[in-house]
Chain A
Amino acid sequence: MGDASVRVSNLGKCYRTSKPPSPWQQIAAKFRKPAASKPANEIWALKDVSFALERGTILGVIGPNGAGKTTLLKILARVTLPTEGRVVGRGTVAPLLELGAGLQPDMTARENIAMYMTWNGLPQADVERRTDEIVSFAEIEEFIDTPLKRFSNGMYVRLAFSMAINMQPDILLADEILAVGDLTFQERCLQRVEEAGAAGMTVFFVSHDMAAIQRLCTRVILLNAGQLVLDGDPETVVNHYEQAAWTMAPGGAKRGKKGRHANEHGEILSVRLMSADDREIGVARHEEELQLRVTFSVLTAGITARAIVLMNARGVVAFRTAQPADITVPEPGIFAIRVRIPARLLADTIYTVKVGILLVKDGEQSTIAMDNALVFRVYAEHDKGDKSLLTLYHGSSMSGVVMPELEWDVARERDIVMVPEGR
C-alpha cells in the first residue's frame, strides 16, 4: 500500500517530576555559574521510539505499567506534545484514551454524541445518521434521551466505545478498552476492531490482555521504561514479554525514590498484578480472583525474610496482609511471592500497593520497601439494581475500600395479621 498511515520517528516525551523553578529561581540561576546548576529531575516517559505502520495495521502496544504506552497514545491524540522527534500520519484520529473523556453526565446520550462530534471537529450534518449507528451498536436505543448520570457503568462504556469507532476514523487509539464492559460487549468490540482493520483503519490497541492481543493484532510493539524493546509479529513479542522477568527498570515512570527498595541484603525486583491464570494485567475485575506477584532477591546467606503487603485506597489502608511465617534463606537467590486475592473482595476503586520485606541477619533487622509499587483499578459489573440501590442510599456508587461478598441470610420471623379496620 506504499504510504505509511503513521510514521513515528525518534519520539520522546520528558516529564519533570519536581516543580519547575519559579521565575525568581530562573533569574537567580542566570547569575550563577553554569556549573552550579544541577540537572532537573526529569523522567523520560518515552525515548527514541520509532516505527511506521501501514494502513489497516492493528498494532498491539504492550508493556508493564509505566512503560509509556499511554504517553504514546496521548501524543498521537495530541493531548500532549512530544519533547523530541515527530509523528507523521494520514487521516482522522479518534482517541479512546480515558473512557468517557469529555462526556457530560448532565447531558443526554443524544446531546453527548453531538458534543463528541464537536470535540472531534466533525461536521454536524450527518449527526442523525451517526447517532442511530452509535446507539444501536451500544444497545442503548431506549436511553437515548436519558442523561448519562443515570447510565450504568456498562452503558457508559458501550456508548464511549461506540462513539469512537462509529466516527470511522482512519486511526483509532484504544487504551484498555477491554478493561470494562461485559464479556459479550467485549467480544463485539473485538470483532468490530477486526473488521475496521480489514477495512483499512489503523488501530493502536493497548491492552494487558495477551489473549486479545494475539487474536486481534497484526503486529505488536513492546515498550518498557519508555523504550521500544521489541517490534514484530504478535506471537514473538507476546512470548518475549511473558517470559521476561519484568524487573522495575531504573529511570522509568511511577517509581518510588530509588534506594529504599534495596539494601545490601536484598532488593525488591518487581511487583506485578496477575490474573488467576498467570497473565499480567493492568486492571482488575471485582468478580475475578487476582494474584500479586512480588519478586525479590536475597544477596546475603543466612537471612530470614518476611513480607507484608499494604493495599491503599482512597487515602487509607484498605487492608494489610502479612506472610504467615518467615522464610529462611541459606543461599542467595531470587524469590517470588504470590499473594492470592480472592474474587469479590476488592471494591470498584483504585488501589495502590505497598510492599515491605523485613530481613533479619544475625538478629539485626532491616527493611526494604516499595511505596508505590503498583497502582491499579478495579471495575465491578454492577447489575443496575445494586447500583441504583447504593446511589439511593448513599448518593454515590463508588464508596468503601473493600466490597467483600458476605453471607446473607433472610428469613421470615413472624407473620403479621392485618386486623380489619372498624371492627
Chain B
Amino acid sequence: MALLTSSASNELTAPPPEEWVIEPRGRSAWSQLREVWTYRRLFGYFGKRSVERRYRNTVLGPAWLIIRPVFPIAVRTLVFGGVLGVNSPGVPYFLFTMVGSSVWDLFSGCLMWSTRSLQLNRGFIGRLYFPRVIVPAATMALAFLNFLIMLGIMAVALGYYYYTDHRLYLAPPGNMLWALGAVIVSATLALGIGLWTSPMNAQYRDVRFTLSYILEFWALLTPVMYPLSHIPAKYHWIVFLNPLAGVVQAFKWGVLGIEELNVTAFVIDIGITLLVLLSGLWYFTRVESQAVDRS
C-alpha cells in the first residue's frame, strides 16, 4: 500500500492519491505480483539474510559452503562409482554424479528453503507489510549459492580431468541452452511447490519433515546417481512421469553432452511447472495471512 505516488500529495491542491482497499480476502494474486516490482530490493535483502543466518556462529564459516556439497558427492562416488561399479556413459563417475546432483540439489534446496521461509521470517511478517510472496522466492538464494559453488567445483574437476585424461568433457556450447533451461525449470517448479508448502509449514512443522523424506526417495527415482541407460528402454516412460527426470537429463545433456535429451519430457515439464506455479500463487495469496496469524 505504501506505493508512493509523490511527496507533493500532501498539499491540498494535489490530485487525490491512489485509492486502496483492505478486505478480509486480501489482495488478488495479480495485484500482489504487480507490487513485487515496487518492493524488488527486498529480494536482495531476504536472500542475503538467509545466507548470513545460515553460516553465522560457525567456526568454518564459508568453508561449509564447499564442504557441504562435496562430501556427499565424494561418498556417492566411492559407493556407486567405486564399490557398486555403476557405469557412467563416457565420463568419470565423479563428474557424472556431480552434474546430476548439482541440478537435483538446486531443486531440493530451493524447495526445502522456500518451505521453511515463512517460518524463518515470521518476525518480519508479523510486524511489517510487504508482498509476502517475496519471502519464499528470495530464500531460495541459499540453494542458488550452493549451486554456483557446485558449478565452480565442477569447473575444477573438468580442469583436472583435462590434465589427467587429456579430454575436455564439456558439451559443445550449443547444448548449454538446455542446461540453462533445466536450471530455470527446476527452480521454478520448486518455487511453485514451495508456495503450497510454506504456508502449510508455518502452521504445521510436520510438512518440512515429511518433505525431507519425500525428497530423499524422489532423488532415487531421478537419474542422478545412475544413468538412464540402466533402466530398460520400455520403462523409460515411467521414469519420465517424474518431472525432475526430464530436467536432470536435459542438464546432463547441456553440460556434459551425455545420454539422450528427451525433448517431449522437457516440454511437458515446462507445462507442469507453469501449472504448479500458477496454482501455488493462487493458493499462497489466499492463505498467507491466516497462516501467519496462527503460527
Contacts and interface: CB of A to CB of B under 8 A. Distances in A.
A79 B126 contact: yes
A75 interface: yes
B84 interface: no
Contacts of A121: 2-4, 35, 38-39, 130
Interface string B37-60: 011011001000000000000000
B26 interface: yes
B171 to A, nearest CB: 40
Nearest to B7: A168
B4 A88 contact: no
Contacts of B2: 92-94, 120-122, 169
B217 interface: no
A123 interface: yes
Interface majority SS (helix, strand, loop, mixed), chain A = loop
Of the candidates A20, A56, A97, A126, the one having the most CB atoms from chain B within 10 angstroms of its own CB is A20
B11 A199 contact: yes
A286 to B, nearest CB: 25
B289 A80 contact: yes
B31 interface: no
B161 to A, nearest CB: 43
A326 interface: no
Given A20-B294, A170-B9, A3 B128 contact: no
B124 interface: yes
A78 B35 contact: no
B5 interface: yes
B260 interface: no
Nearest to B37: A121
B22 A90 contact: no
A196 interface: yes
B66 to A, nearest CB: 25
A81 interface: yes
A76 B22 contact: yes
B41 A124 contact: yes
B293 A15 contact: yes
A86 B18 contact: no
B2 to A, nearest CB: 4
A95 interface: yes
B92 to A, nearest CB: 44
Interface in A59-100: 75-95, 97-98
A360 interface: no
Interface in B120-159: 124, 126-130
Nearest to B44: A118
A147 to B, nearest CB: 15
B284 to A, nearest CB: 14
Given A92-B4, A94-B2, A81 B127 contact: no
Given A3-B16, A78-B129, A91-B5, A201 B22 contact: no
B128 A82 contact: no
B78 interface: no
Nearest to A106: B52
Interface string A136-175: 0000000000000000000000000000000011100000
Interface in B267-295: 289-290, 292-294
B168 to A, nearest CB: 44
Contact of A87 (B11, B22, B42, B289): B22
B24 A84 contact: yes
B294 A86 contact: no
B23 interface: yes
A102 interface: yes
Interface residues of A, number: 50
A359 B78 CA distance: 78
Interface residues of B, number: 40
A418 interface: no
Contacts of B3: 92, 121
Nearest to B35: A121
A95 B2 CA distance: 9
Given A82-B24, A121-B35, A90 B16 contact: yes
A196 B24 CA distance: 30
A79 B292 CA distance: 10
Interface string A101-114: 11000000000000
A199 to B, nearest CB: 5
A13 to B, nearest CB: 9
A115 interface: yes
A405 to B, nearest CB: 34
Nearest to A8: B22
Contacts of B21: 86-89
Contacts of A3: 16
Contact of A92 (B1, B12, B203): B1
A23 interface: yes
B164 interface: no
Contacts of A23: 204
A170 B41 contact: no
A178 to B, nearest CB: 20
Given A23-B204, A170-B9, A199-B10, A83 B20 contact: no
Contacts of B39: 118, 121
B1 A93 contact: yes
B85 interface: no
A200 interface: yes
B12 A170 contact: no
B62 interface: no
B204 A78 contact: no
Interface of A: 1, 3, 15-16, 20, 22-23, 55-56, 75-95, 97-98, 101-102, 115, 118-124, 126, 168-170, 196, 199-201
30 contacts: A1-B12, A20-B203, A23-B204, A56-B12, A76-B22, A78-B1, A80-B126, A81-B23, A81-B289, A83-B24, A85-B24, A86-B22, A86-B23, A87-B22, A87-B23, A88-B20, A88-B22, A89-B21, A94-B2, A95-B128, A101-B128, A102-B127, A118-B45, A119-B130, A120-B4, A121-B39, A121-B130, A122-B4, A123-B4, A168-B7
Interface of B: 1-5, 7, 9-12, 16-26, 35, 38-39, 41-42, 45, 124, 126-130, 203-204, 289-290, 292-294
Q: What are the nearest 8 A-B pairs in CB distance? A: A91-B17, A78-B129, A120-B2, A101-B127, A87-B22, A121-B38, A81-B289, A118-B41
